[in-house]
Structure 1
Amino acid sequence: MSPSTETVPPPIHAPGKTRARRRGFRPPALALAAACLALTLSGCARSGTTAPSAARAEAAHGAPAAFGAVDCRRARCIALTFDAGPSENSARLLDILKEKKVPATFFLLGARHIERYPELVRRMAAEGHEVASHTWDHKILTRLPDARIREELTRPNDAIERLTGRRPTLMRPPQGRTDAKVHAICKELGLAEVLWSVTAKDYTTDDPALITERVLAQASRDGIILLHDIYRGTVPAVPGIVDALKARGYVFVTVPQLLAPGRAEAGEVYRP
Structure 2
Amino acid sequence: MPEIRRKTRLGAAVAGASALTLTLGACTLETTAPADARSDARENGKSLAADQNPRRTTGAQSAVVGTEPVDCEKAKCIAMTFDGGPGKDTPKLLDTLKKEKVPVTFFLLGKKHIVKYPQVVKRLSDEGHEVANHTWTHKRLDTLTRDEIRRELLLTQNALEKLTGKKPGLMRPPQGRINDDVTAVSKELGLAQILWSATAKDFSTNDSALIRKRILKQSSRDGIILLHDIYDGTVPAVPGIITELKKRGYTFVTVSQLLAPAKANPGEIYRP
User: How many Å apart are 1:20 and its aligned residue?
Assistant: 2.6
Q: Could you tell me which residue of structure 1 aligns to residue 213 of structure 2?
A: 213
**What is the letter of the counterpart of residue 63 of structure 1?**
S
CA spacing shift, 1:21–1:196, aligned 2, 3 Å: closer
Gaps of 5+ in 2: 8-13, 56-67
**What is the letter of the counterpart of residue 55 of structure 1?**
A
CA spacing shift, 1:10–1:134, aligned 2, 3 Å: farther
Cα distance per residue 1:237-263 (max 9 Å; x no partner) = 000000000000000000000000001
Q: Could you tell me which residue of structure 2 aligns to residue 137 of structure 1?
A: 137
Q: Could you tell me which residue of structure 1 aligns to residue 203 of structure 2?
A: 203
What is the 5 A alignment of 1:26-41?
none
User: How many Å apart are 1:180 and its aligned residue?
Assistant: 1.2
Q: Could you tell me which residue of structure 1 aligns to residue 45 of structure 2?
A: 61
Q: Could you tell me which residue of structure 2 aligns to residue 20 of structure 1?
A: 18
SS at match of 1:230: coil
Structure 1: which 4+ aligned runs deviate by more than 3 Å? 9-12, 16-19, 64-68
CA spacing shift, 1:83–1:21, aligned 2, 3 Å: closer
Q: Could you tell me which residue of structure 1 aligns to residue 84 of structure 2?
A: 84
Q: Could you tell me which residue of structure 1 aligns to residue 184 of structure 2?
A: 184
Q: Could you tell me which residue of structure 1 aligns to residue 62 of structure 2?
A: none
Contact 1:198–1:224 (8 Å) recurs in 2: yes
Q: TM-score, normalised by structure 2?
A: 0.84
**Alignment partners' CA distance in 2, 1:239 and 1:76:** 19
**Alignment partners' CA distance in 2, 1:158 and 1:17:** 33
CA spacing shift, 1:171–1:212, aligned 2, 3 Å: same
SS at match of 1:106: strand
Q: Could you tell me which residue of structure 2 aligns to residue 4 of structure 1?
A: none
Compute the RMSD of aligned alpha carbons.
2.3
**Alignment partners' CA distance in 2, 1:167 and 1:225:** 23
Contact 2:190–2:267 (8 Å) recurs in 1: yes
Q: TM-score, normalised by structure 1?
A: 0.84
CA spacing shift, 1:47–1:158, aligned 2, 3 Å: closer
Q: Could you tell me which residue of structure 1 aligns to residue 225 of structure 2?
A: 225
Contact 1:20–1:46 (8 Å) recurs in 2: no
**What is the letter of the counterpart of residue 154 of structure 1?**
L
SS at match of 2:249: coil
**What is the letter of the counterpart of residue 30 of structure 2?**
G
CA spacing shift, 1:73–1:65, aligned 2, 3 Å: farther
SS at match of 1:58: helix
Percent of residue pairs bearing the same amino acid type: 56
Cα distance per residue 1:176-214 (max 9 Å; x no partner) = 000111111111110000000000011111111110000
Contact 2:29–2:179 (8 Å) recurs in 1: no
Q: Could you tell me which residue of structure 2 aligns to residue 148 of structure 1?
A: 148
Contact 1:84–1:108 (8 Å) recurs in 2: yes
**Alignment partners' CA distance in 2, 1:239 and 1:246:** 11
**Alignment partners' CA distance in 1, 2:123 and 2:3:** 33
**Alignment partners' CA distance in 1, 2:159 and 2:139:** 17
User: How many Å apart are 1:11 and its aligned residue?
Assistant: 5.8
Cα distance per residue 1:85-112 (max 9 Å; x no partner) = 0000100000000011000000000000
1:50 aligned onto 2:32 = yes
